[in-house]
Amino acid sequence: MIDPVDNFKIPDEWIARTQIPLNKLEKQVSQGLVVVLSNGSILKRGYTTGTTVAAAAKASVLSLKKDIGHVCVPTPAGPRACLGIKAHDGCAVATKPQSDHESDITRGLEFKACSRLIERTMATTGQISQIKILAGEGIGTVVRDGLEIKKGNPAINPVPMQQIRDAVIEALEETGLEDVEVIVSVPKGAEIAKNTLNGRIGIMGGISILGTTGFVEPWNDHLGETKEILTKEATKVVITTGRQGMRYSTMLFPDHTIVMFGSRISEGLAAASGNVEEIVICGLPGLILKWGNPDILKNSGFATVSDMIINDPDNKRLLSTFGQTVDKSGGARIVITDRSGKVLMDSGGMP
């Protein structure tokens, strides 16, 4: 049985320990809804802000024709996400589902989308459908350079923006409509954003719309134990921090076991300190370099590590922090990539 969100083959012995009928478990796993742990227990995945907004956007367009109470949308990982929703006369509200992630502060938050048809002009006659996605209240605005989104634009990352567009395209195909403008918003977004790091990294006025897979990964103590088991059983292991790190680690180190620990790099290293022959820490610079030197940004004038790398790649702090990270790793190979997969720093040379 393979988890389609992270392409992880679930060991048969883990499946045998679960208390769920096999056909039900297969369905939940195939939909990306659950994570199976080594002791047979189950953790529930949630949907990202990107998926929730995509659902609201699609339902808002569908409701131009009829009331909608349920909608399914594509996700970047592949499985379709289905949510209950309230949609009427072009406006829809989707609630971000609960998950077993201990610190997901956007669980239960409402996301809204309102759609209206727009007229075709002479210039657009005969072209494919016009789709305009606009950000309303509660979605932050990027006010600094160095982030994945350019300064002055709404804080909707590229992957979820495409997910929203794909969902709207489905709605247009289902309704036979052609040209539409969709305004997405988060009524309590500005309030919730006060409890995030958005203000510190240069996003003001609301939350960010995020998600590279469409799913929120759960985390609890036993999931950490499961990841530790995978790490201990590997001969060669890559400890990575996120989805993009997993993607590029798989490309760079195809003969290694890839385990995502997020910011818990020290836990991964502790698990790998036994019989593992080769340890690599690979991923984007933010979490890895801040793990090596938590004060890398202190009095630097930069909001994020990525901001520093983009605008001042020769900054002495980067080199010194990389050295600190190598030292802290206790001999692990450190590989830092950018969002395109380009290797920026490598303590051991390319494989």
pLDDT tens track for 36-73: 887 788 889 999 999 999 999 999 999 999 999 999 99
Instruction: Calculate mean pLDDT across residues 288-305.
Output: 89
> pTM, whole model, 2 decimals?
0.74
The stretch 147-169 carries a mean pLDDT of 93
Q: At 59, which helix (H) or strand (E)?
A: helix 49-62
Tens digit of each residue's pLDDT (9 = 90 or more) over 218-275? 765 556 666 777 787 788 889 988 877 877 887 788 788 888 888 889 988 888 877 7
* Domains of the chain: residue spans and CATH: 2-44 (3.30.1990), 47-215 (3.30.2110.10), 220-346 (3.40.50.10720)
pLDDT category at 321 given cuts 50, 70, 90 is very high
Residue 100, token pair as written in the block: 């077993």
With 70 as the cut, is the pLDDT of residue 125 above it?
Answer: no
Short-list 95, 21, 81, CA closest to 51 = 81
The highest-confidence range among 54-68, 142-156, 223-237, 281-295, by mean pLDDT, is 54-68
- 235 secondary structure, DSSP code: S
* pLDDT tens column, 82-116: 999 999 999 999 999 888 776 788 989 999 999 99
The strand pairing partners of 210, in sequence order, are none
Here the tokens at position 9 are 């083959």
Question: How far apart, in whole angstroms, are the C-alpha atoms of residue 302 and residue 296?
Answer: 10
